[in-house]
Structure 1
């Protein structure tokens, strides 16, 4: 969670690295204007909203926070994302546009790489939601739900349904319901770590 200006800058830089965004020279700004990267715009808006909501949400700044909430909601709807703030650690990489739904009580560590059609949430109206470690790859269509814990350095396979905790690191989870199917070197999947 962003709790200072230094945290905000770290989150932005790590997200930029995870998405493979190059330096914003004049050529980069022209390309961004002609062909905008909406996922990067979404992540920048999310991080800015997190920073202002957590650190500067008083006085006149509340008006700016309200504007950021409006802007964040607008781009979220455009991309099909239902992602609350203060869920992801730095190094988030959303790979594609498409439906992504995440419960506000979920916490996900550093360097999460996530595809479209992912759903992470509570089970049956309960408040407990998944707590996911660092360096986790979540493939398209994965469903993760319940008051569970997922260890660090995990790869979750396409269309897997994860409803039980997995404390074992460096494994791939797949199937319905998901279970460990083998070991994985997460650095081969998440290249920027």
Structure 2
């Protein structure tokens, strides 16, 4: 959760690195102006809204916060995302636009790489939602639900249904219901860590 302007800048820097966005030369800056990346635009608004909600939600900034919420909602609907603020740690990489639904009580650590058609939420009216560690890869179509926790350095396979906790690190889980299928080196999947 962003608690200061320095953390806001750090989150943006790590998200940019995770998404592989480079604005170091004039040509890449020009391309980003002519044809902006809609997912990166969403992530920048997400982080800015987190910063203003957590740190600057008084006075005139409250009005700006309402404006950011409007832009965030509009961009979310356009891309098919239902992602609340203060869920993801730094280093978020949303790979494709498309349906992504995440419960507001979910907590996900740093360096999460997430694909389209992922659902993460509570189970059967419970308030508790999944808690995922750092360096998590979530493949397309994965469903993660319930009061569960997933260890650091875990890859979740395509279309997996995860409804129980996995405490062992450096594993690949997949299947319906999900089970550990192999050990992995997460750095081969999430390249920037």
TM-score range, shorter chain: over 0.9
Matches within 5 A, 1:7-156: 7-23=7-23, 25-156=25-156
Cα displacement (A) at 1:60: 1.0
Moved more, 20-29 or 167-176: 20-29
Q: Distance in 1 between matches of 2:24 and 2:16?
A: 11
Cα displacement (A) at 1:36: 1.2
Describe the superposition over 1:13-72 as per-residue Cα deviations: whole angstroms up to 9, x where unpaired: 000000011025443332112211000000000000000000000011100000000000
TM-score, with structure 1 as normaliser: 0.98
In structure 2, the gaps of 5 or more residues are none
Q: Distance in 2 between matches of 1:75 and 1:26?
A: 27
Describe the superposition over 1:126-179 as per-residue Cα deviations: whole angstroms up to 9, x where unpaired: 100000000000000000000000000000000000000000000000000001
Q: Distance in 1 between matches of 2:58 and 2:100?
A: 31
Which consecutive segments of 4 or more residues in structure 1 shift more than 4 A? none
Describe the superposition over 1:67-108 as per-residue Cα deviations: whole angstroms up to 9, x where unpaired: 000000000000000000000000000000100000000000
RMSD of equivalent CA atoms: 0.8
SS in 2 for 1:137: strand
Q: Distance in 2 between matches of 1:22 and 1:34?
A: 15
In structure 1, the gaps of 5 or more residues are none
8 Å CA contact retained: 2:174, 2:180: yes
